[in-house]
Amino acid sequence: MSEFRSIGFIGLGIMGKPMAKNLIKAGYNLIVYDIVPSAMKELVSLGAQAASSPQEVALKSDGLIITMLPNSPHVKEVVCGENGILKGAKEGAIIADMSSISPVAAIEISDKAKEYGVYYLDCPVSGGEPKAVDGTLAIMAGGDGEAFEKIKEILLIMGSSAILIGDVGSGSVAKLANQIIVAMNIAALGEAFTLASKLNVDAEKVYEAIKGGLAGSTVMNAKIPMILERNFKPGFRIELHIKDLRNAVEAAQSGEVNIPLTKEILNFMEQLKEDGKGQDDHGGLVQYYEKISNIEIRRK
């Protein structure tokens, strides 16, 4: 069992709540915080202790604080703010930030944490809500190797894999690469299945025919059944994928990399958000193609 018996956990949204639940099921004591007080109630009912601030979370933990937050500014505030983690963390404590943020921001936060003698690891995840629930997320990490090894067994309670990519920021770069590939997969599904539907071919039978071939993918198997049922209940919202692709564009600009397809798909998602669909699952990107072709992809 890990040396960290009492773990801090900040951010109890769609992803954070089931991740925190898995840690409780594994026997860990959690000190939890979320800006929405009601988000903490279910965890408290399962035995977690509610805190009033990130600072209190850090003070009451054994030296590991996990964060799962929407974007870079939220992580900066929670870690470095007036009542932030660094104001309560012990020297040698580890912050495992499992949010999806800019690699530039991850490095800035890590540099600040070093001033307090605190380790910061960027540990974003892939898999969405279903894999957060069943504890099979893919975790990609950047940061100090010894700190990573100390928390790896805890990460593997929430994920089926946890890989140290390299220095701080590299985990976030890996996640951006992941998000680019997922976005392009969904865009390809939208384009291909809109074509099939518009030409009066049964989309479900097309899926059954091609899923076992080279075009088959985890994304296809996860999203096409939902699309055929017109189910866009969010496991990962379009507006959050927009955030990730914006971070990818920012990182690309800082590295003088041209990513034209990413920019194009980002534009499609932003148009959907303007249409009021930002809260839809990112599989709802297919609605952009449906709109411009005046067709719906659905089960016959």
Domain spans of the chain, in order of start: 6-167, 173-293
Q: Just list the catalytic residues.
A: 175
Q: Distance between CA 142 and CA 179 in Å, rounded?
A: 17
pLDDT of residue 3: 82
Per-residue burial over 158-182, b = 16 or more CB atoms within 10 Å of its CB, e = otherwise = bbeebebbebbbbbbbbbbebbbeb
pTM for the whole thing? Answer: 0.91
Average pLDDT, 10 consecutive residues per value, the chain (300 residues)? 87 96 97 94 96 97 96 96 97 97 95 98 94 97 98 98 98 96 98 98 98 97 97 93 95 94 98 98 98 95
pLDDT of residue 203: 98
CATH number of 173-293: 1.10.1040.10
Number of helices (H) and strands (E) in the chain: give both, helices first: 13, 9
Torsion angles phi and psi, residue 295, rounded to 5: -150, 160
pLDDT of residue 2: 73
Q: Distance between CA 240 and CA 48 in Å, rounded?
A: 27
CATH of 6-167, one of 3.30.420.40, 3.40.50.720, 3.20.20.60, 3.40.50.150: 3.40.50.720
